[in-house]
Every structure is written in structure tokens, then in C-alpha cells.
Amino acid sequence: MGEVMLRHPKTLPADASLGEARAALSNDHVHVVLLTEGTQLVGTLTRTDLPPMGTLGPALPWSKLAGRTVEPGTATSAVYDLLIDQEGRRLAVVAADGSLLGLMCLKQRKSGFCSNADVDSRARSRDQMPSQVGFEELSSR
């Protein structure tokens, strides 16, 4: 599992607001928000967990852990099967003491798992792309 687990997934603090969770999930590459208190995973949120727009308050009461975590010793094939069965693409890897260790991320085509290199490459590509405003300015010339 270690070779395909994302070791530094993005997290939000346990006291994050619904607005912060919605903002994180507005990125097409973000499928789950991991809510943490220190190193402890205290909740996960997906788009379907969110209450109707306009609902304010903390995100944590809307979060879930059941069915969204695996232990670090779980076989990669078992994680894959679980994600396929759940029709999901993300599972948090959590130690017995509740510490968040990483994230298992199934590729969109379900051909395998995302890697740290995949995520880093996507981030570099995004950083090198001109901003939308810059692109519009260039294309209008």
C-alpha cells in the first residue's frame, strides 16, 4: 500500500466551516475533504455529504468516517475492491490510534492508484498554466 498511498494529502482543520469545505470541493480533483485535529482524522466530507447551499456553520457535523478509512496493512487489491464496491475513489489511511497516514486515490479510469508523482505533476502543470485572465487577454489580441 505504501507505494501508492498519497503521503501528504491536503487537510482542513476540524473546525473548518461548510464554506471552506465547499471551496475545497469546488476543485475537480478534490473528491474528499479530510478534517483533522492535530494528526487525528476526525471526519471526511464528500460533495454528497454537504447540506443545501446557504447552510452555514461547521463542516464536522456533516462529516463521516465509517466506510471511508482503511488500516495501513490493508492489501492494495482489497482497497481497490472496496472502492469499486462503494463506487468511490478515495479512502483515508488511518492508524489504529486514529492518526491520518495518507490517502488512497483511485484514478478516474480506475486503472490503478494515483501516486505522489501524479499529484506533484498536476500541481506543476497548474502552476505553469497562464491564469484564466491572462489566457483571455492573450486570445483577444
CATH of the domain at 105: 3.10.580.10
In a domain, 137, yes or no: no
Q: How many domains does the chain have?
A: 1
pLDDT tens-digit map of 9-53: 889 999 999 999 999 999 888 889 999 999 999 999 999 999 999
Q: Is residue 51 part of a domain?
A: yes
Give pLDDT, residue 70.
95
User: What pLDDT band is residue 125 in, cutting at 50, 70 and 90?
Assistant: low
Half-sphere exposure for 12 (CA within 13 Å, toward CB) = 24
Decide if pLDDT at 126 tops 80.
Answer: no
Q: Mean pLDDT throughout 108-130?
A: 67
Looking at every residue in the chain, the average pLDDT score rounds to 84
138 occurs within a structural domain: no
Q: Identify the domain containing residue 16 by its residue range.
A: 11-114
Q: Which string of DSSP letters, residue by residue, matches 110-141? A: SSSB--HHHHHHHHHHHHHSPPHHHHHHHHT-
Percent of the chain past pLDDT 90, that is, above it, reads: 62
Q: Can you give the pTM of this predicted structure?
A: 0.80
pLDDT over threshold 80, residue 91: yes
